[in-house]
Amino acid sequence: MDKDDQCSHQWNVAFAQPNSRPTNFATTTTTTLRTMGPGLEKIFSSNSHWLAAMNATEPEFFEQSAKSQSPKILWLGCSDSRVPESLITSSRPGDIFVHRNIANQVHPDDDSVLSVIAYATEVVGVEHILVIGHTNCGGATACLDASTENTSPSEPTTPLARWLAPLTKHVRTLKLEGLSKSEALMKVVEESVRVQVANVINTVPVKATWSAGKKNLWVHGLVYELETGRLRDLGISQGSAEKPMTNRIQSRGARL
């Protein structure tokens, strides 16, 4: 089993299996984080090096950073470890307000994402909300696989399946016949971004911002290409004075 197949298998297992809890879980431990393996030790070591570098070049940075934040961008992205927003945009602490979840979903009844959007627009004052999908998305792959099963759709029984259920349902409506697996997955990724952009636009905080006459808030849809490291604009951006979203989502967009 190659690395991609192993990743896909792990997603499918998590997507399909009921809730389970680890057994023989130790209730107490005296082990410190620094001694729990090279992965955690690297986090502390890298933090120390970064801290020293920042203090050497910008000794007042942390003092100023602690006072306030005024990012102009809200990033609604996927939890995938290969899409770190600050790194791929060469941004600094304080530049981007962030919310990430599995498959970059914006559910109308999800208080987590709604509270982020509300705080970002009402308190922080962001000017751009970016919905960022990415190629080879495990969540999108799980939805695509579930949508093509020959069995009748069943009620989701796991947290992951419930989270992805709206996207899975939408994927079943797409015309994917004749497409290769990679082509179908790309279409699912892009269509999901379009749906989430529309969901963001229909949230109370965004509509309230536009209704109040604030025209400097924009919502955008992009796809990050893991294979190239490039952000690709889907050309579906919308501001308060733009035409309805349904008239714009067919635009193909261009690479940034």
Name the active-site residue from 9, 34, 49, 82.
82
Name the active-site residue from 7, 9, 78, 248.
78
Name the active-site residue from 80, 143, 145, 194.
80
Name the active-site residue from 99, 137, 143, 232.
137
Look up 143 and say whether it is catalytic: no
Look up 82 and say whether it is catalytic: yes
Look up 99 and say whether it is catalytic: no
Name the active-site residue from 99, 134, 194, 220.
134
3-state secondary structure the chain: CCHHHHHHHHHHHHHHCCCCCCCCCCCCCCCCHHHCCHHHHHHHHHHHHHHHHHHHHCCCHHHHHCCCCCCCEEEEEECCCCCCHHHHCCCCCCCEEEEEEHHHCCCCCCHHHHHHHHHHHHHHCCCEEEEEEECCCHHHHHHHHHHCCCCCCCCCCCHHHHHHHHHHHHHCCCCCCCCCHHHHHHHHHHHHHHHHHHHHHCCHHHHHHHHCCCCCCEEEEEEEECCCCEEEECCCCEECCCCCHHHCCCCCCCEC
Look up 78 and say whether it is catalytic: yes
Look up 230 and say whether it is catalytic: no
Q: Which residues participate in catalysis according to the annotation?
A: 78, 80, 82, 134, 137
